[in-house]
Amino acid sequence: MLLSYFSIFSGFTNHYCKLFTCLHQSIYLFSEVKNSYSTHIRFLRACCPLNFGFYDTGPSSFENLLKAFKLHDLFHTTRKPTSNLVKISPILEMARENSPYIHIERTLLIIKPDIINYADKIEELILQKGFLIIQKRRVHLTPEQASEFYAEHYGKIFYATLIAYISSGPIEVLVIARENAISILRELIGPQNAFKAKATAPESLRAIYGTDDQQNGIHASDSFTSAEKEIRFFFPDSK
């Protein structure tokens, strides 16, 4: 296994060993979604704390480090897991064990029907921000499925129009991961009300693509519990 490359470098500190374990596991983060080599570099750098030193040395030094460990070419492999589900759980377990040094989370992002034509541009921005796309699917929810997903809003004044809106056309659903993914994604999408987003966070996704309080273009999980629940809704076999 790849970890055999690391065993001969006994002088590395425990922190560096944790980093290389993260790197080793990330090589297997392939599904039906193809993540490029540069995407993996962004992901790894986003997940490395400052005391590893790679933020200061720059991407070229980071890539040279990969080459030194003969791992550079492995990022170009087309190898996939035997299942179409990405084996991300080892990384999440490692993050829990080694917190606060590495804290990788996964979260759910939905691109809503009215901006589905911008899905590629939004996904590219997500990758540029250091996220890795773990799984994705395009689906057209029935009103019944939409009602189940938004069950917590049942009885609220906007519930009927929300269900009609989210089931009006196809949506793009993505499971994405990086360090502190939930809070960083929430900041990236901006306030729920698109008018407020345009005023207070003009570069946020909802400011750019949203129309109003309801047709705000983007949904993102607001907590770890919500993320796990919502991921299981769209990807029931996800670990």
- Rounded Cα distance between 67 and 75, Å, is 11
219 is a catalytic site residue: yes
Q: Which of 24, 72, 76, 219 is catalytic?
A: 219
SS3 109: strand
Q: Which residues pair with 177 in a beta bridge?
A: 106, 132
Length of the chain: 239
Q: What is the torsional sign of CA 22, 185, 56, 27?
A: positive
- Rounded Cα distance between 28 and 77, Å, is 10
**DSSP output for 184-200:** HHHHHH--SSHHHHHHH
- Rounded Cα distance between 69 and 71, Å, is 5
Q: Which two three-digit tokens encode residue 226?
A: 């919500």
CA angle (56, 57, 58) in 5-degree steps = 95
Catalytically active residues, by annotation:
219
